[in-house]
Amino acid sequence: MADLIRINQFTKHYVMGETIVRALDGVNITIKEGEFISITGASGSGKSTLMHLLGCLDRPSAGEYWLDGDLVSHMSDKQLAIVRNKKIGFVFQTFNLIQRTTAVDNVSVPLFYARQARVKEPSLRALERVGLGHRAYHTPSEMSGGERQRVAIARAIVAEPKIILADEPTGNLDSRTGEQIMQIFHELNRAGVTVIIVTHEMAVAVQAQRVIAMRDGRIIEDGGIDDAFRARMLGQERTAASLPERSPPMARPLQV
């Protein structure tokens, strides 16, 4: 499979008065089309910053980003917005829905931005794909957390992006509901969508094919995982509720 994402010496610095926060400090990642990746790391390690940059919501302070053959790190805001609309769907921990608007209208938002003529049909189809066809005309305020997240996923996939970026998508859900949300990501991945999920939860992280662990704006581990590794990690989770700050070595280091 072709490289879908390639970032080279990715750096993001925030100037805060006298100090510089190195949110990302020279990150290199290559991601192939169709991968399912989880990103883990302690709070403040740079996960959300990385997701923002991967999602073309912001540009790096330094470094290059190749997305689907285009050098997007040097594009204008306008060009970035077009790429983002076409290629990327976002899912957030807090759903980010418009509370008083129906599910189907929430899902339509990216199609309006893309100035697509037909919005209703694809939006209803996206809701059906996440099992919420019957709730299309309800508002998020009438829905459970799991249903809200499914609306957010429908919104993320309505324009048929190649990539789904999800920043702690199960963080506000109970584990059973979180598991249902993960099943939707698995189905999307089986259909060919590249899925990248940030998570603190070991049970979520090990569902990916590859785990990237971050600390202090850098990658400290990046490797493919197998069933033996999964079983070992889930065994450990009985004693530790969340990921250790430094992940253990991956079972099968990825060839770079």
Kindly list the distances between the CA atom of residue 46 and the CA atoms of 55, 56, 118, 198, in Å, as whole numbers in the listed order. 14, 16, 38, 11
CA distance 62 to 9: 7
Position among 14, 112, 113, 137 found at the interface with ligand ADP (CB under 6 A) = 14
* Residues in 36-55 at the binding interface with ligand ADP, rule: CB under 6 A: 41, 43-49
Q: How many residues bind ligand ADP (CB under 6 A)?
A: 12
Q: Which does 46 bind (CB under 5 to 8 A by kind): ligand ADP, Mg ion, none?
A: ligand ADP
CA distance 160 to 122: 10
- Closest approach, Cβ 138 to ligand ADP, in A, equals 31
Give 88-139 as a 3 state SS string. EEEEECCCCCCCCCCHHHHHHHHHHHCCCCCCHHHHHHHHHHCCCHHHCCCC
Which is nearer to ligand ADP, 23 or 54 (by Cβ)? 23
Tell me if 153 sits within 8 A of 181, measured CB to CB: yes
Structure tokens at 201: 């939860």
Which is nearer to Mg ion, 138 or 215 (by Cβ)? 215
Position among 16, 117, 241, 256 found at the interface with ligand ADP (CB under 6 A) = 16
Selected range binding ligand ADP among 16-24, 28-36, 102-110, 185-193, rule: CB under 6 A: 16-24
Tell me if 7 sits within 8 A of 196, measured CB to CB: no
Q: What x-and-dash track marks residues 153-182 binding ligand ADP by CB under 6 A?
A: ------------------------------
Reference 219, options 210, 231, 207, 209; nearest CA is: 210
Position among 11, 28, 30, 48 found at the interface with Mg ion (CB under 5 A) = 48
Q: Which does 16 bind (CB under 5 to 8 A by kind): Mg ion, ligand ADP, none?
A: ligand ADP
Interacting residue ranges for ligand ADP, rule: CB under 6 A? 14, 16, 21, 23, 41, 43-49
Interacting residue ranges for Mg ion, rule: CB under 5 A? 47-48
